């Protein structure tokens, strides 16, 4: 139960009861997302059970469910679109109001979760036999990255500059490499994450304490980047991004500052140089399916990014590791692990 980043408790709750069309899933692995520790974003709805990167085993099947059986190994998407509204029909599934309202009960950091009927119909995916439960926790974050790079129209041979080398930045590096990016450069403020960026596919890294634009030009034949992806929520990260996009290039804001922070945009420069600025939020069903296929075919192999596997009563430690962003990459809670 999340109260704030420094107050995460184990509390007893009844196992959810399922109704017609629903599933009961025993959670086997649940990843802690960077958004889970965005306190300004989460605390307004506290106390609540967070967690949305889950894999598990079906242990209860409601009346009318024919596609799933007890024992099925599954990944479950917490947000699902209606697929019929104006936004879904034009391909903007993550702008769908249904997607923003849906979720499972009570949240992924629980031993058992109830999967509502709409999620059963539109958001349950069988795990491939060769994919472990813990590896499956990457499906949702990879799908978000797939969506971002798809909307940004990453092309083979382009120079990609990634600002922030936490888990989302590292997944962007891995996917950009798989999609044929010509040169991948990453930046961060910590040496631990800069080394991780190199390990997972960056051609070069820049310590954010340096003159980032100047170093980027040195590393990229005196040009800024074709695609700049912001994976850090600080104002300085956004400002750096706007200064590092080449003429005709694109800036993708995968992470953004807190709501009250305004980012000054040099609109005249953007206009004169035909620079595209865009955002990306969440993942649509097509992105989830692509993520599963990329992982199944080993086009993108992310399991080595797991640095911590924690028992259920170590949730507070998990939040601390992710919030401090020092010596961890992917932190996973395993609710069935004995403690």
Q: Residue ranges of the domains in the chain?
A: 2-142+283-334, 153-279
pLDDT at 127 over 80: yes
Q: Which superfamily does CATH assign the domain made up of 2-142+283-334 to?
A: Medium-chain alcohol dehydrogenases, catalytic domain (3.90.180.10)
pLDDT at 230 over 80: yes
Q: Where are the alpha helices (DSSP H) in the chain?
A: 39-42, 86-89, 97-101, 117-122, 133-136, 139-151, 167-178, 191-199, 212-219, 235-242, 267-272, 285-296, 315-324
Look over the chain and give the mean of its residue pLDDT values, rounded to a whole number: 96
Average pLDDT over residues 9-34: 97
Query: What is each CA distance from 127 to 56, 245, 287, 292, 338, in whole angstroms?
Result: 9, 38, 15, 8, 24
Query: What CA–CA distance (Å, rounded) separates 251 from 43?
Result: 29
Average pLDDT over residues 104-119: 97
| Same fold yes or no, 2-142+283-334 and 153-279 | no
Confidence category of residue 194, pLDDT binned at 50, 70, 90 = very high
* Per-residue model confidence (pLDDT) at position 310: 96
* Per-residue model confidence (pLDDT) at position 238: 97
pLDDT at 338 over 70: no
pTM of the predicted model, to two decimals? Answer: 0.96
Give me the architecture of the 153-279 domain, per CATH.
3-Layer(aba) Sandwich (3.40)
pLDDT at 6 over 70: yes
* Per-residue model confidence (pLDDT) at position 337: 82
């Amino acid at each position: 139960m999340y109260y704030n980043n420094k107050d995460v408790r184990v509390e007893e709750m009844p196992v959810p009861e399922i109704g017609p069309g629903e599933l009961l899933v025993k959670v086997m692995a649940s990843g802690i997302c960077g958004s889970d520790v965005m306190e300004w974003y989460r605390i307004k709805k506290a106390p609540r059970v967070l967690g949305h990167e889950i894999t598990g085993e079906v242990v209860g099947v409601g009346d009318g469910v024919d596609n799933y059986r007890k024992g099925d190994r599954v990944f479950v998407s917490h947000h699902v679109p209606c697929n019929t509204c104006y936004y879904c029909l034009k391909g903007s599934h993550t702008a769908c109001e249904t997607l923003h309202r849906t979720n499972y009960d009570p949240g992924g950091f629980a031993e058992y979760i109830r999967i509502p009927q709409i999620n059963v119909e539109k958001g349950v995916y069988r795990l491939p036999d060769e994919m472990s439960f813990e590896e499956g926790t990457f499906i949702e974050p990879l799908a978000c990255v797939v969506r971002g790079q798809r909307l940004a129209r990453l092309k083979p041979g382009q120079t990609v500059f990634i600002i922030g080398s936490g888990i989302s930045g590292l997944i962007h590096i891995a996917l950009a490499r798989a999609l044929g990016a010509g040169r991948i450069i990453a930046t961060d403020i910590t040496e631990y994450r800069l080394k991780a960026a190199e390990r997972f596919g960056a051609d070069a890294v820049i310590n954010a304490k340096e003159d980032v634009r100047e170093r980027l030009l040195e590393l990229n034949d005196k040009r800024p980047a074709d695609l700049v992806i912001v994976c850090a929520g600080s104002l300085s990260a956004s400002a750096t991004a706007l200064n590092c996009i080449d003429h005709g290039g694109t800036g993708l804001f995968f992470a953004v500052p807190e709501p009250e922070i305004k980012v000054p945009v040099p609109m005249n420069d953007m206009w004169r140089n035909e620079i595209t600025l865009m955002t990306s939020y969440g993942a649509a069903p097509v992105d989830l399916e692509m993520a599963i296929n990329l992982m199944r075919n080993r086009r993108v192999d992310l399991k080595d990014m797991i640095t911590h596997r924690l028992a259920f009563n170590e949730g507070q430690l998990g939040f601390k590791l992710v919030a401090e962003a020092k010596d961890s990459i992917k932190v996973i809670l395993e609710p069935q692990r004995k403690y």
